[in-house]
Every structure is written in C-alpha cells, then in structure tokens.
C-alpha cells in the first residue's frame, strides 16, 4: 500500500491512479483527471459517477481548467443524447454537478434538464409520511422509507437548482428534507445517524450506525451551507448542531490508525475505507463552512493518511464494503465483505481532490 505523503504532485498522481482504477472497475476506458486522458469515458449514469464528477468539477472550477469543463460538457451531452435512465434518488446524483456546470457554460438544454428534474423531485417523486423524499432506487420503491444517503444524492441537487433558478420554494424544500430526515434518522443520544426509517413499521430497522451512511451526512450538511449561504438562521443553527453532535461521536469512534468501522460503534465489524474518506472530506468541508472547529482537522488528517494507506500502486482503494441495502439486523452489516468498488474510488477522489486544492 502507498505511504501517506501529502505533496501536491504526489496527490495529483494518486488521483490519476484512483480515477483510472475507477474506470477499470466499471469496465470502461480511462477517465478524467490525467492530461493524457481523452475526455470522460464513464459510461454509466449513476450515483457513483455523480460523486466522482462532483469532485472533478470542483477541481476544474478551482483550477479554471477549461478542458476539464469541456470534457464534462461532452459527457453530459452524450448521456442526454442517448437517453437517461429512469428518474429515482440515485440517478439524481449526477444532476448535482450538472446544476453547477450550467453556471459556467452556455447550454440551454442542460438548464432545461436541471429545471425539469428539480420540478420532478418536488412534484412527482413518491413522498413518505411527513413529506420526506422516499428512497426510490432502480431495484425497488422502498415504500415509506427514509434513507440517510438521500440528502447527498437528491436534496443537495434540489438546493443547488433552487439557487441557480432563484426558486426559493426549491431551496426551502431541500432544507425541509434535511430537517425531516434529521427528525427520524438522527439519534439524540450519540448524534450518529441510523441507516433508515420506515413509516410502515415505524422503526429504524436494525438501528445501525452504518459508517458510509453517516459519511453522507457529514458531507451533505456542510455542502448545503456552501450551496445556500443565506440559509435561515434557525435552520443553520439546527443543522450546525446536528453536525457538531455527529462529529463529536465520530471523533470518539475513530481508530488510532484513522479508520472507522462499518458499524461505527462496533469494533468487531470490519474497517471501512469509503466511509473514512467521506467523513474526512465532510470534516474538512465543515471547517471550511465555519461549522466545525479548526482543531477537528487532526481527525481528517488521520483519516486521510489511512485512506492513502489503502490505495495500492494501481490506484485501487481497498477495504471498501460492498453495496449495502437496508439491513434488518446488525449481523447483516458485519457480514458484508470488503472489496474494491467504484463508489470507494469516487469517495476517495472527492477527498483527495479537495486536499489537493488546499495544498500549497
């Protein structure tokens, strides 16, 4: 495994390697980042690609990389031209980078898609009791269910679209989704988040503090603060305290080597690299947004070193738990095997690109 050296050139090479491995894991050609790459070759429109492209876009904007922006335009044009998959929560994830991209390029067709998709979320996506975004995925409707990853996959896009189109109603709906999900998924004792809630059974399934799900929350709240800088004081105060409470427990459950366990409060469960990357990125963004204390960076740095130590010479991120539907007992989470996955690559890229942008 790689050592945890943090120089900009080394980070750039590691990102190139991780992006290339991401593409190989999806069975396609090399992807964006390296100057030698020919455009973006990610073939599938899904949440894993959406997470990766969000990191790529942040880097391209910060570096004023016009070629990278042009590659993103070409990728979205290709996807739209051949027909997008059915709309659901996970297929909404690539819409977040698109809703940012339209502020940097003149593409009326992209703007029309963003506007139409945001309207669909508000008016046509199935809702749970209390008006929550039902976690509909391509495999199942998940009737009456709230999942913690919905906020990153769909609510952030709606907030961003609302800001771009000056649609306060969309922004308000996105913020409401954060509030209603916090009501049913955030544990007031630990501050950690349960994986899901069902209105049909009125319970939190296995009451699992699933690490990757918590990582989505650690990321999503600071991102909302950045997207909506004029967030109402009452909502800002509430969500800031939710994040602080969560991070307080995350710091307590972080291992000395920087990693987190698949079940955050269960040291017998496997360690999990994708959650570690997401939590580190979320802490860095939380500090940047003024929610978390600068002293929390030591925990992000420790997690970063752990993630770098899980990346092999070919750019493959190891120690990532397999796809995780809702579990009905804690053993379900303990038994999930670790293996290389595209989303493990994507979360590592999100962290590494952010660190590279902040590295002198």
Question: Of 12-16, 65-69, 92-96, 344-348, where does the model show the most confidence?
Answer: 92-96
For the cut 90, the answer to whether the pLDDT of residue 31 exceeds it is no
- Please report the sign of the dihedral spanned by the C-alpha atoms of residue 74, residue 153, residue 242, residue 308: negative
Residue 168 in any domain: the answer is yes
Question: What is the secondary structure of 97-142 as a DSSP string?
Answer: HHHHHTTTS--HHHHHHHHHHHHHHHHTS-B-GGG-B----SS---
Q: Dihedral through CA 293, CA 299, CA 301, CA 305, nearest 10?
A: -170
pLDDT tens digits, residue range 180-195?
999 999 999 999 999 9
**More confident site: 306 or 16:** 306
What H or E segment, with its residue span, contains residue 146? strand 145-147
pLDDT tens digits, residue range 93-119?
999 999 999 999 999 999 999 999 999
Interval 216-238 mean pLDDT? 98
Q: What's the burial of 94, exposed, middle or buried (CB within 10 Å: 0-12/13-18/19+)? A: buried
Residue 300 in any domain: the answer is yes
We report the CATH number of the domain holding residue 144 as: 1.50.10.10
pLDDT tens digits, residue range 273-285?
999 999 999 999 9
Whole-number pLDDT of residue 27:
55
Whole-number pLDDT of residue 40:
63
CA separation for the pair 82, 346 (Å, rounded): 24
CA separation for the pair 110, 164 (Å, rounded): 12
Whole-number pLDDT of residue 62:
86
Whole-number pLDDT of residue 8:
86
For the cut 80, the answer to whether the pLDDT of residue 35 exceeds it is no
Residue 3 in any domain: the answer is no
Residue 152 in any domain: the answer is yes
User: Taking the CA of residue 173 as centre, how many other CA atoms within 13 Å lie in the half-sphere pointing to its CB?
Assistant: 23
Number of domains within the chain: 1
For the cut 50, the answer to whether the pLDDT of residue 1 exceeds it is no
Report phi then psi at 138, rounded to 5: -65, -25
Interval 289-304 mean pLDDT? 98
Residue 216 in any domain: the answer is yes
Residue 215 in any domain: the answer is yes
Residue 1 in any domain: the answer is no
Q: Which range has the worst mean pLDDT, 61-75, 189-203, 249-263, 298-312?
A: 61-75
Domain limits at 28?
8-358
Asked if residues 342 and 22 have their Cβ atoms less than 8 Å apart, the reply is yes
What is the DSSP secondary structure assignment for residue 272, as one 8-state letter? Answer: E
Q: Which range has the worst mean pLDDT, 44-53, 214-223, 277-286?
A: 44-53
Interval 138-154 mean pLDDT? 96
For the cut 60, the answer to whether the pLDDT of residue 32 exceeds it is no
**More confident site: 24 or 239:** 239
pTM for this prediction: 0.94
């Amino acid at each position: 495994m790689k050592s945890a050296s943090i120089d900009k050139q080394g980070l750039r090479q590691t990102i190139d390697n991780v992006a290339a491995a991401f593409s190989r894991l999806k069975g396609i050609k090399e992807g964006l980042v390296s100057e030698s790459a020919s455009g973006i070759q990610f073939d599938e429109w899904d949440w894993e690609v959406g997470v990766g492209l969000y990191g790529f876009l942040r880097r391209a904007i910060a570096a004023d990389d016009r070629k990278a922006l042009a590659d993103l335009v070409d990728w979205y044009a290709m996807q739209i031209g051949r027909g997008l998959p059915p709309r659901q929560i996970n297929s909404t994830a690539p819409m977040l980078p698109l809703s940012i991209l339209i502020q940097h390029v003149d593409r009326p067709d992209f703007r029309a898609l963003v506007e139409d998709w945001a309207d669909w979320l508000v008016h046509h996506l199935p809702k749970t009791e209390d008006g929550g975004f039902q976690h509909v995925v391509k495999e199942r409707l998940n009737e009456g269910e709230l999942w913690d990853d919905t906020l990153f996959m769909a609510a952030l896009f709606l907030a961003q679209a609302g800001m771009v189109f000056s649609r306060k109603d969309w922004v308000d709906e996105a913020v409401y989704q954060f509030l209603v999900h916090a009501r049913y998924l955030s544990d007031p004792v630990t501050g950690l988040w349960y994986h899901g809630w069902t209105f049909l059974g009125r319970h939190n399934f296995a009451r699992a503090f699933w690490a990757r799900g918590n990582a989505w929350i650690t990321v999503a709240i600071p991102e909302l603060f950045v997207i909506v800088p004029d967030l109402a004081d009452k909502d800002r105060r509430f969500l800031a305290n939710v994040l602080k409470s969560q991070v307080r427990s995350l710091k307590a459950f972080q291992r000395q080597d920087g990693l987190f366990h698949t079940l955050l409060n269960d040291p017998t469960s496997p360690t999990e690299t994708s959650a570690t990357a997401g939590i580190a990125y979320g802490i860095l963004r939380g500090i940047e947004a003024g929610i978390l204390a600068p002293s929390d960076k030591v925990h992000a740095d420790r997690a970063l070193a752990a993630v770098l130590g899980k990346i092999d010479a070919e750019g493959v991120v190891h120690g990532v738990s397999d796809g995780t539907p809702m579990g009905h007992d804690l053993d379900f989470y303990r038994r999930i095997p670790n293996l290389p996955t595209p989303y493990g690559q994507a979360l590592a890229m999100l962290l590494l690109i952010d660190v590279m942008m902040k590295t002198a």
